[in-house]
Amino acid sequence: MDSITKFLKSKNSSISENSTLKSSFSGTAAGVGAIPLVGAIDITAKLDNVIEDVIDRSKILVTGCSGFIGFHVAKYLLEQGFSVVGIDNMNKYYSKQLKESRTKLLNRHKNFKFYEEDICNYGFLTKLAKKHEFRDIIHLAAQPGVRYSIENPFEYERSNVQGHLNILELCRNIKNFNKLVYASSSSVYGNNKKLPFSTQDRTDEPISLYAATKKSNEMMSYTYAHLYGINAIGLRFFTVYGSYGRPDMAPFKFTKNIFEEKPIDVYNMGNMKRDFTYINDIVYGVMGALKSNFIGHKVYNLGNSKAEDLKEFIRVIEECVGKKAIINYQPMQPGDVEETFADISDAKQDLGFIPAIDIYTGIPLFVDWYKEYYLAK
């Protein structure tokens, strides 16, 4: 029995009910630095089975390591004994203080080396590769945000297109390079009316520049796999939330404003659904991609595979906060979509990806972290 099979068997037997998840988390959120990566369930120990035979290498480059997902991925790798080289430009798209807090936690590990630099600086990347000799790259650096891309198009072209090309060129020129795992997005599906979104669906009609840049990442990666034999896996993330989450995203905004008794903007008059995915499940999926023996290029959906009603999501936050939201209903925003819903059958089969944390477990975890980080000081 291989390690992933063992992991899945143990996972399915131990997390079948939300009550079990909640009770196992009880009392673990004492102190921001002490909040475990896994939150509701002790996935860390079980993930050892996933990653124990991932690679016979010790050093991995993580781009965007001070960002939300990059931080959690780097933290997990460090805790498993890998040496992580992290790069982040620490831009001011949102609170630099939060990025610095994440980086500070990573810097506690002796096996972490951080560089504040931009992936658009190809000369720096080549020097970094020569110095550290990593053979695997987890590329999570990008300019995020659908709505922001409408106002700042050139920044998206620079960071998301030129930056991704630089990473591909770096992969091509590293001797004995092994694998690239990179972040794509559910936004590539555009206004697709077929649900759930499948990796077999057409994705040639993006409705935001951000989505277009992410689709271009997939196309460039496919081309480099074809031309140069680079092994690359793209992961289409679906509305990720959790501890140390981005302040520009709805879960954070809703929580903050409900605590402060300020209005929250809810678009499309609240008639929206999202496949909310807790950060720990995303880390699990990234590890599965890193382990995969797939040759060439392939993309996968990483989502919870449940389209949650936005109003229900807000109701659960209200319950956790203990206050009612003041809702300011707004029309649909340009570049936004009514519903996201991930078909994760490919990821289940190939990566062993089975998400474990629904919104009734994930939201309390996030709210507990928010209170500890922002309100307990």
Q: Which residues are catalytic?
A: 210
Q: Give dist(CA 237, CA 227) in Å, integer.
A: 26
CB 320 within 8 A of CB 254: no
DSSP category for residue 147? H
- In terms of Cβ atoms closer than 10 Å to its own Cβ (0-12, 13-18, 19+), residue 123 is exposed
| Cβ-Cβ contacts under 8 Å for 280 (sequence gap 6 or more) | 37, 38, 39, 40, 41, 43, 72, 242, 356, 357
Torsion of CA 4, 9, 11, 13, to 10 degrees: 180
∠ Cα 363 365 369 (to 5°): 115
Contacts of 180 (CB under 8 A, 6+ apart): 136, 137, 139, 167, 168, 171, 221, 230, 231, 232, 233
- Which residues lie below 8 Å from residue 200, measured CB to CB, with a gap of 6+? none
| Helical residues (DSSP H) of the chain, grouped into ranges | 3-14, 18-25, 43-51, 68-79, 96-106, 122-132, 146-151, 153-156, 163-173, 209-228, 250-259, 279-291, 310-321, 345-351, 359-370
Q: Which residues pair with 236 in a beta bridge?
A: 184, 301
**Residue 40, beta-bridge partner list:** none
Cis-peptide into 36, omega within 30 deg? no
- Tokens representing 168? 């591909």
DSSP 8-58: HHHHHHH-SSHHHHHHHHTT---SGGG--SSTTS-HHHHHHHHHTTS-S--
Bridge partner residues of 330 (DSSP) = 267
- Beta strands 308-309 and 273-274 are antiparallel
